Amino acid sequence: MNLNALDLNLVPVLRALLEERNVTRAGRRVGLSQPATSAALSRLRRHFDDELLSRAGNGYRLTPLGTTLLDRVSSAHDVLERLFDTHNRFDPAAADTEFTFTTSDYALAVIGEQLSRTIHAEAPGVRLRFHQITVPAVDDIAATLAGTDGLFMPHGFLADYPAVELYEDRWLCMVAADNATVGERLSQDDLARLPWVVLHHRPTDYTPALRQLTMLGVEPRIEVVVENFQSMPFLVAGTGRIALIQQRLARKIAPAAGVRLLECPFAAVPIKEAMWWHPTHRQDARHRWLREVVARVGAQVNAKGSADE
């Protein structure tokens, strides 16, 4: 494909058309008149040799190719926007920009509050957007990093990408406060006997402690599978179930959920949380400032947790 023949101005129009599924609204969103937006749609249809939007009653629906492009155009648009928004200088106090993060609910609960407060104090015009991490996002990590300013994820899953170190954490076991079948200490027999609440339960799960449990010969009897960590205490409370939870998160939500926290009866792999980022951001002054702030906040969170132990 000859990139010189492409009109990059069509990228935001394509995104608006596919997301809005309406020519008038899409044009209003990108600042074009309806005739100009219709003309852009015609050009896009010729380029892709596809209608992209097809009539469905009083509205439009996406063609199969349009649906495929919808999944790709937002990432492509974000990458282009970051590419051409790269500067050698960045003044946080005067900045009017947005940073996007991809994160688990766990990392957001641990570091999100302090990070948002610090950025607001130093760069009041900066907006933050947090996307929930998904299994497909982990499976296609290159595309995920290309479309975000930072990915919060522990060490042990990524390689060959730069990272900002944040804080350390450790795993605890969690049972209902009124679970009379569990004493003050857990045994490996308890881990095999009790039904489990787990996260995702796929090869890309980011709970290495649970994987370590299977390596010890204990096959957890899985009863509930969830998509986020914060729901786990409430699915353990009042039942005979057990789950693994990070200590920093447990301090925030476990007391309100009616659960009891116990040491793991095995040497659970500690957590070393980091913010991973794409190498294309390396020379961007805007992103350098962000990395410095994230590192500073991570060190503060880590020091606070150490002092509380």
Q: For residue 150, name the pLDDT band (cuts at 50, 70, 90).
A: very high
Give the contacts of 19 (CB within 8 A, at least 6 positions apart).
26, 70, 74
Q: Measure the CA–CA gap between 51 and 178, rounded to whole angstroms.
A: 60
pLDDT > 60? residue 5? no
8-state DSSP, 256: H
The total domain count for the chain is: 3
Residue scoring higher pLDDT (157 or 164): 164
φ and ψ at 132, to 5 degrees?
-70, 130
Among 51, 84, 117, identify where a domain stops. Answer: 84
Both 175 and 209 in one domain: the answer is yes
Among 84, 119, 138, identify where a domain stops. Answer: 84
Both 70 and 106 in one domain: the answer is no
Structure tokens at 287: 């992103």
Question: For position 301, which CATH number holds?
Answer: 3.40.190.10
What letters, b where the CB count within 10 A reaches 16 and e where it falls short, cover 186-217? beeebbeebebbbbbeeeebbbbbbebbeeee
Both 193 and 212 in one domain: the answer is yes
Nearest to 119 by CA among 302, 249, 286: 286
pTM for this model (two decimals): 0.70
Provide the residue range defining the domain that includes 20.
3-84
Residue 3, pLDDT score: 47
Both 291 and 144 in one domain: the answer is yes
Residue 183, pLDDT score: 92
Q: Convert the pLDDT of each residue in 243-288 to its tens digit.
A: 999 999 999 998 889 999 999 999 888 999 999 999 888 888 999 9
Average pLDDT along the chain: 86
Both 178 and 260 in one domain: the answer is yes
| Residue 100, H or E segment | strand 98-103
Q: Convert the pLDDT of each residue in 57-109 to its tens digit.
A: 777 888 888 888 887 877 776 666 666 665 567 899 999 999 999 999 999 99
Residue 62, pLDDT score: 87
Q: Convert the pLDDT of each residue in 188-246 to its tens digit.
A: 999 999 999 998 755 445 466 777 788 888 888 999 999 889 999 999 999 999 999 99
Nearest to 131 by CA among 147, 111, 155: 147
Among 84, 114, 129, identify where a domain stops. Answer: 84
Both 185 and 128 in one domain: the answer is no
Q: Is 152 helix (H, G, I), strand (E, B) or coil?
A: strand
Angle, in degrees to the nearest 10, between helices 23-30 and 34-48: 100
